[in-house]
Amino acid sequence: MRKITCGLLGILVILSLVIGISGCSSSAAAPLPPEQRLRVATTTSLYDTGLWGYLEPMFEEEYGVEADIMYAGTGKALEYGRRGDVDVITVHAQAREEQFIAEGYGIERIPFAYNYFLIVGPEAEPAGIKGMSPEEAFNKLMESGSGSFVSRGDDSGTHSKEKAIWAAAGYEYEAVRDAGRWYIEAGAGMGPTLMMASEKQAYTLTDMGTFLAYQRKLELAPVVDGGNLLLNVYSAIAINPESAPKTNIEMANNLISFLTSPGIQELIGNYGVAEYGLQLFTPCAGAEPK
């Protein structure tokens, strides 16, 4: 009888432990209420530079929220916004952002930082485009055939800027794509595109922040860095609840307030300066840079 009692007690103890562990696991896996989560789609350049990884924990701590970050090109981020898959987007393609808002998907475009695009290429500079305007440089690349060019080719903000430069140079983009093997589409984010261009000793268009962050890994140098056409503005847009009723608009507005607050603007301006000797981003707190 004693042995049976001990056996039964052992079974009961094991069952109680299993139930307890199961209960703890269930509790730990329980999702946070919607108001304590924020879904964000952001550009790959903000990720590749490390800026998001730097700011995200501060935002989460200040607002007691878990941020779910999706890193994608601007085109994909806008698509997530149209579908209502995210609450807020941070992107860098002004014309497309304004269209997004005009179509009713976003509330307002709030710039929070900017830098500039660069055309970078091999030190040998086979195309001889150094110091030209972006339009002149693209024209010479197209006409001379003396240098390869790696495009993001991913519908990102950088890809949109590239198309704008080709248009300013007088070319239809489809004609450029079909112009020959010198034009290569990476279909990737900015970091991988830079690495591919370096490996192939080709030219590419990049935002300054990602180039500085990757510079030590690359055998590339800036060759064109002037002209208003190369301005690169990052903006935050809250998704319109009328378009996507499940939007966490309160927390989306909190993120925008956070990004444009004086303290965070100062951090954005100082980010990377000690390591790279230059600003990766210039803060602009809700105003268009001039």
pLDDT tens string, the chain, 290 residues long: the values are 333 333 433 433 333 433 343 443 334 445 667 668 999 999 988 988 999 999 999 999 999 999 999 988 899 999 999 999 999 999 999 999 999 999 999 999 999 999 999 999 999 999 999 999 999 999 999 998 789 999 999 999 999 999 999 999 999 999 999 999 999 999 999 999 999 999 999 999 999 999 999 999 999 999 999 878 999 999 999 999 999 999 999 999 999 999 999 999 999 999 999 998 889 999 999 777 87
DSSP run (H or E) holding 71? strand 66-71
Reported in sequence order, the residue ranges of 94-177 that DSSP labels E, i.e. its strands, are: 106-121, 149-151
DSSP state of 274: H
Q: What is the pLDDT of residue 172?
A: 96
**Tokens coding 267:** 């951090």
> What pTM value is reported for the model?
0.82
Q: Count other Cβ atoms within 10 Å, centred on residue 275.
A: 11
**Do 78 and 89 contact (CB within 8 A), yes or no?**
yes
pLDDT at 109: 97
User: Using an 8 Å Cβ cutoff, are 130 and 112 in contact?
Assistant: no
The domains located in the chain, with CATH, are: 34-115+231-283 (3.40.190.10), 117-230 (3.40.190.10)
Quote the pLDDT of residue 11: 36
User: How far apart are alpha carbons 284 and 99 in whole angstroms?
Assistant: 22
State residue 30's pLDDT score: 57
Report helix, strand or coil for 250. Answer: helix
Please tell me whether residue 95 adopts helix, strand or coil conformation.
helix
**What per-residue confidence (pLDDT) applies to 267?**
97
- State residue 31's pLDDT score: 63
CA 273 to mean position of chain CA atoms: 20
